[in-house]
Amino acid sequence: MKNLISYTDGGARGNPGPAAIGVVLKDEAGKKVDSYGRKLGVATNNQAEYQALISALESAKKLGAKEIKCYLDSELVVKQMRREYKVKDKNIQGLFMQAWNLMTNFTKITFTHIPREQNKEADSLVNGVLDQVD
């Protein structure tokens, strides 16, 4: 598996509150190769967004991807990963470093902000997990 596309989402009800991630990985043709939602415990929305990205990068690495296009509806995470924004929040810095270090596993990686409407699959995985927690 040379190139992958990831759609990730993270959410928390209460912010902080019960949190979950949703990850969808597709090949270049748009065929789904993996998707899952997972409970995180208590976290903020931003922490959950980072956890989702980290999980997607780890999964892509296991699948042997060399290049990955990451699509997120979190403008904050996208701009921090592109180094357009500084990471000032102490609770995010460790997660940023984890994601940053995972980038070394890929020859090419891009981060693109997309509207929530274009991230429905990952969003529904998050909400499916959170609905079970409530």
pLDDT tens-digit map of 18-61: 999 999 999 999 999 999 999 999 999 999 999 999 999 999 99
Which positions ≥6 away from 49 have C-beta within 8 Å? Answer: 8, 9, 10, 72, 74, 76, 77
Q: pLDDT tens for residues 53-111?
A: 999 999 999 999 999 999 999 999 999 999 999 999 999 999 999 999 999 999 999 99
63/105 Cα distance (integer angstroms): 12
**Is the pLDDT assigned to residue 134 strictly greater than 70?**
no
Predicted local confidence at residue 1, as pLDDT: 67
Instruction: Tell which phi-psi region holds residue 111, choosing left (phi > 0), alpha (psi between -120 and 50) or beta.
Output: beta
Q: In the chain, which residue ranges form alpha helices assigned H by DSSP?
A: 45-62, 75-81, 90-102, 120-133
- What is the model's pLDDT at position 88? 95
Q: What Å distances lie between residue 122 and 10, 47, 58, CA to CA?
A: 8, 16, 16
pTM for this prediction: 0.96
Hey, what are 125's tokens? 């995985």
